[in-house]
Amino acid sequence: MKNARFTLVEFSEASSAPRLLISPKTRLPEQGDRILERKRLLNELTASVAKGHVWINGPPGAGKTVLAAGYARQVAMPAFWYDLDPLDADLVSFFSTLPQAFIPRFPDIADGCDLPELSPEDMLALPVFARKFFRSLFLSMPGKWLLILDNFQEIPEQSPLVNLLQICLGEIPVDCRAIILSRKPPSAVFSRMRVEGKIQVIDPAPLRFTPAEIGKVMSLHGITGEQKSCIHYLHKTTVGWAAGLTLLLQEQKQKQNREICIRDQSEEFDHQELFDYFAGVIFAGLGEQEKSRLILAAQFPEIRPKLLDRLQETDGGKDYFLRLSRENFFTYRLDNRGELFQFHPLFRQFLRQKAKAVMPAAVLTPLLEQAANSFAADNRQTEAVDLLIQAKSWNRAAEHIRKNGAVMLDQGRFKTLLRWQQALPQQIVGENPWLLFFFGVATTAFDPLQAIEILKKSFSLFQKKHDTTGSLLACCSLTNSIINHLSELPALDPWLDYLEEQLDPRTLPDDGSFANSTMASAIARALVLRRPDHPDLELWLQRIVRQGGMHPALITHYLWTGRFPEARAALDNIYAHKDRIGSKLLLSAIKAMEVQYYLIMCEPDKCIRVIEESLQMMEETGIRVWEVHFFILGAGCCLNCGRKKEAAGYLRLMEQHVDRARLLERSYYHVVKTLEALLAEDLVAADRHQRSALDMAEKIGMPSYSTWCWYGSALVAVFQQNYTAAVTRFERVFQLAAAPGNPWFTCQAHLGLAYMHRHKGEWQEMRHHLQQGFSLARKKNYLTFFFFLPKMMETLAVAALEENIEPTFVRRFIARWNPTPVDPPVHLDNWPWPIKIFTLGRFSILRHGKKLSPAVRAKNKPIQLLQAIIALGGRQVNKTKLADIFWPDSNGDEQAAALKVTLHRLRELLQVKDAIIQTSANLTLNPRICWVDCWQFERLAGTVLAEKQKTADAPSATAKKAVATYNGHFLASQEDESWIFAYRQRLQDIVEKLNSSTYKSSVIPIERINAAGIPYQNDPANCQGDKEERKK
């Protein structure tokens, strides 16, 4: 026994002392220079070790050894490694070799250290011997330490060593730990230890590399560039399997290209190093019958043991694959009953490659056809077609596609259809109009221009076969492809003419069938975009509504006829039944219309949210037809709502992808750039862009879209003061808006003309268009417009209030946009000021039209500060003066701190940004935000006094307005503070001037002044003494 343990000892020639040779079985594996330290896994392992021994199980190459070796190098205790192999099933060999793992740290073990020796008698009581052996061994190893047992699966399950190792784990000192690495989970022998929490299990799932970890491994291998698509491919192909990932990355680096990253998992590929790994490590030890079963199983999309048993005329398939899944043999169970399994994608590909070498077509084809029948019977048509294509049963595959293509289109399974298109012989595809139809519709999602050519061939073949239904479907799909190309809609005309000849919305059956639903929605969509004034358009749209309203044509029609509530209702209806939309292409078009809705309603946050959702969906599906459209709509929405930074970001994205932009998107780009130039007052750039937008719009041939371009062009002409051209262009807007009945643009055109006439000084014409525009806006509740130029809309709003045109609605319009005019309309007390302050005869504050609560007004010091700012002129009021008024006994620093706190409290009270402007020395009540009645009175009084005209009959309108404003003395209920009294006296002096000689009767009635409770100096009831006292 002792000699067996010391076989790894040799004698040196120079000395008779033995030299220990360390066996690879007991050597800690070396780590490579490109090993990723996975903190996630190390943290999980550390937490598990803290609870007890750890069993890590996973398939070969899962990274178990790397994980344990990395942990051993980091842990703060000695770590010992032992690599189990089949020879360890010989117990004499095992008990001789195991102690060698500990000799480098505990050399006394080499001298025997009184370890018991295995004798023939001990074979009859192995558990007793094992317990004595492990106790003696571990007693000679003081302190904390870690034992790692690798490749536990090499010990046969029937070997007594399995039970003995369970005893080994039980004898390990309480402060020491063991980690067991195996391809298999713990056997039943270890059940009690698991229940007691003495063994923690780490299953295969945590060992798999996450996408983020794959990206880090790529960086370690020096692979950069298009990492996102490569990470997705590698994660999908390897399912996080460490060995597969490493081999693929090594191959990738050798090829010095990115081909691996752009291949689809379903494509054939040849990774020789990876397949050599499977052949040498996995496949070599299997029997021929087992190999045959695995190879046949790999030909199917999923493993069905019952089907395999039937095809091979065997049984036991379910138990066999259950065992493979338990042993982590690259086989996963898909259900709880053990009826469905799946191979690891790379292992399945390896087995398919092997099938080409060992299974001739004469053997494999009938098996594949039988399997296809089985899948078809279970309504698994996709798998059935795949198997028929694999068997090269072309005609049967084509028939299956013919029968199930409509369902696949409804489900949006375009990529599957296109995969079949590539797999089938082109001669068979080219002679079958139904295959061309289904493949053409699927191509629309990725390349509308190519789809047009495919569908034309389909239509031609249907015509030759006199298949009316097929011809109509091909024609309708052709119109959709032309629309999705968004470049030259006049190409729709001959196809629309054909459809109008063949179809009538009054007689087409409304049965919800694929054919009739497709026809109705296609015609409606084409008419909305190309012929919005068509008399039957509403009838076709009603059919869409009866079908559930799940089509973008309905939303487009509502948006381009100014029926925004209906558009919102249609969108809500669609999202309430979103699960019925299988086609991601259709959903992209719907989301594009939703973004258009938010653009019109000027809701940039919602617009950006939908764009981000849509871009994420495109990333997942690869359907990017509408991607550039989202960029330009996002730019338009953000720019129109004053979000210039976000708009610039979307414009950059548009410019980066201009090669993929369709003609409509390129035209719309110039529309947005026109708006950008007008906002920047760059009329040269605005004129250049509006011309480009219009030229492209004429080629596009979409009347409702042209309206946008003509309106922008008309505004450019107004700002250029080219009024003749402006009138002509506005007339074109009226014409285009009248055809589909779009009051939104009619309204905007009236307002644009009103703005032009105001600049020309043509007041009567201005009033006419202003009345027309705002009356229409009120009726339709239009509060938002495109080409929103703040200065223009402020001017129109002021003009409308001056002329008393729709004042209630105009105030709502102003409140919606909350403009702050450079020149505040102080003459308009009916302007919806954010803050209105009343000081004459009473003190109150209105914030956005609502009176502040008594609790807010009770905040005495901030209110006093506001009153003082008003009394001291309201503009550039010196902070030091204010501090001296309220904190006269404090020093400078204390005054500054108190003023700072009080000012903060005042701003919190007002809750309107920039209501008070602060500089280092002064405070100003912002006149663009705040209206104050005493200031209004001073302005009106100044106007009256400047008129210098005497009227024998009655005061002027301005004087009457002054009367209405002066409701009593300034802060009449306040105590006579010096700063209050001075401003109150100033206003009283103005009243005296107004009442002196300008009119025969008093402008400000004495009764109103006396009602304030303060004597008025011109009141005969007051004596001269009182007057002198007041002046003091």
Query: Using one digit for the tens of pLDDT, what is the confidence trace for 236-254?
Result: 888 888 888 877 776 666 5
Boundaries of every domain in the chain:
25-207, 211-269, 582-660, 835-930, 933-1031
The token duo for 431 is 């002679």
pLDDT at 307: 87
pLDDT at 350: 85
| Greater pLDDT, 647 or 246 | 647
pLDDT-wise least confident of 9-18, 685-694, 898-907 = 9-18
pLDDT at 951: 54
> What is the three-class DSSP state of 182?
strand
Q: Look at residue 750 and tell me whether its pLDDT is greater than 90.
A: yes
In the chain, the percentage of residues whose pLDDT exceeds 90 is 54
pLDDT at 949: 54
In the chain, the percentage of residues whose pLDDT exceeds 70 is 89
In this prediction, residues 598-619 reach a mean pLDDT of 95
pLDDT at 1015: 43
Buried b (16+ CB within 10 A) or exposed e, 76-95: eebbbbbbbeeebbebeebb
Position 6 confidence tier, pLDDT thresholds 50, 70, 90 = very low
| Greater pLDDT, 23 or 292 | 292
Position 255 confidence tier, pLDDT thresholds 50, 70, 90 = low
pLDDT at 953: 52
CA-atom Rg of the chain in angstroms: 43
Equal fold, 25-207 vs 835-930: no
* Residue 201 Cα to chain centre, angstroms: 37
Q: Give the H/E segment covering residue 837.
A: strand 835-838
Cα–Cα nearest to 25, from 105, 98, 111, 113: 98
The span from the CA of 214 to the CA of 227, in Å, is: 10
pLDDT at 767: 97
The vertex-473 CA angle with 472 and 476, nearest 5°, equals 85
List the alpha helices (DSSP H) in 534-603: 537-546, 552-559, 564-576, 584-601
In this prediction, residues 905-927 reach a mean pLDDT of 91
pLDDT digits (tens, 9 = 90+) for 460-487: 999 999 999 999 999 999 999 999 999 9
Q: Percentages helix, strand, coil for the chain, rounded to the nearest 5?
A: 65, 5, 30
Position 820 confidence tier, pLDDT thresholds 50, 70, 90 = confident
Q: Which amino acid is at 292?
A: S
pLDDT-wise least confident of 269-278, 545-554, 673-682, 717-726 = 269-278
In this prediction, residues 18-36 reach a mean pLDDT of 69
Angstrom distances, CA of residue 556 to CA of 15, 636, 1025:
96, 17, 79
Q: Look at residue 580 and tell me whether its pLDDT is greater than 90.
A: no
pLDDT-wise least confident of 414-418, 425-429, 811-815 = 811-815
Range with the largest mean pLDDT of 246-260, 676-690, 859-873, 896-910:
676-690
The span from the CA of 792 to the CA of 715, in Å, is: 10
| Greater pLDDT, 492 or 578 | 492
pLDDT digits (tens, 9 = 90+) for 146-193: 999 999 998 988 899 999 999 999 999 999 999 999 999 999 999 999
| Greater pLDDT, 269 or 210 | 210
Q: Give the H/E segment covering residue 777.
A: helix 763-780
Query: Is the CATH code 1.10.10.10 the one for domain 835-930?
Result: yes
pLDDT-wise least confident of 310-324, 788-802, 824-838, 996-1010 = 996-1010
pLDDT at 675: 97
pLDDT at 854: 66
Q: Look at residue 1020 and tell me whether its pLDDT is greater than 50.
A: no
pLDDT at 399: 95
pLDDT digits (tens, 9 = 90+) for 455-466: 999 999 999 999
In this prediction, residues 630-647 reach a mean pLDDT of 96
Non-local (6+) Cβ contacts of 310 within 8 A are none
The span from the CA of 70 to the CA of 42, in Å, is: 8
Q: Look at residue 954 and tell me whether its pLDDT is greater than 60.
A: no
Answer yes or no: are the C-beta atoms of 108 and 140 closer than 8 Å: yes
CATH number, domain 25-207, options 3.40.50.300, 1.10.357.10, 3.40.50.1100, 3.20.20.70: 3.40.50.300
pLDDT digits (tens, 9 = 90+) for 653-672: 999 999 999 999 999 999 99
Q: Give the H/E segment covering residue 869.
A: helix 860-871
| Greater pLDDT, 20 or 629 | 629
pLDDT at 575: 92
